[in-house]
């Protein structure tokens, strides 16, 4: 499900292999945008939990490197 307020046509994608390589090289910040409860139940190793509703308010405080590319993920369609 996408929001009309958040266009996705210009958002680049990354393959699983590219993500794994970028994480090993510490070139990206991995952000899980689900709820804290979902994050506690399961998340990718090394991910930071930053729920969508909190991005505007907390992103600057929790992002370790504000210049690093960000890879955000959620549960996706079920």
Q: How many domains does the chain have?
A: 1
Contact by Cβ (8 Å): 30, 23: yes
Is 55 a member of any domain?
Answer: yes
What confidence tens digit (pLDDT) does each residue in 5-49 have? 556 678 888 899 999 999 999 899 999 999 999 999 999 988 999
Classify burial at 32, counting beta carbons within 10 Å of its beta carbon; exposed 0-12, middle 13-18, buried 19 or more.
buried
Please report, for the domain that includes residue 37, its CATH number: 3.40.250.10
Is 7 a member of any domain?
Answer: no
DSSP H or E stretch at residue 49: strand 48-49
Is 66 a member of any domain?
Answer: yes
Is 4 a member of any domain?
Answer: no
Return the pLDDT at 2.
Answer: 44
pTM tops 0.75, yes or no: yes
Is 78 a member of any domain?
Answer: no
Check 20, 44, 53, 74 and give the catalytic one.
Answer: 74
pLDDT of 78 > 80? The answer is: no
Is 44 a member of any domain?
Answer: yes
- Give yes or no: 20 in active site: no
């Amino acid at each position: 499900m996408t929001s009309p307020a958040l266009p996705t046509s210009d958002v680049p994608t990354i393959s699983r292999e590219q993500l794994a390589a970028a994480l090993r090289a510490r070139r990206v910040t991995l952000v899980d945008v689900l709820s804290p409860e979902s994050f506690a139940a399961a998340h990718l190793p090394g991910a930071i939990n930053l729920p969508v509703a909190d991005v505007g308010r907390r992103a600057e405080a929790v992002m370790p490197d504000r210049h690093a590319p960000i890879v955000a993920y959620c549960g996706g369609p079920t």
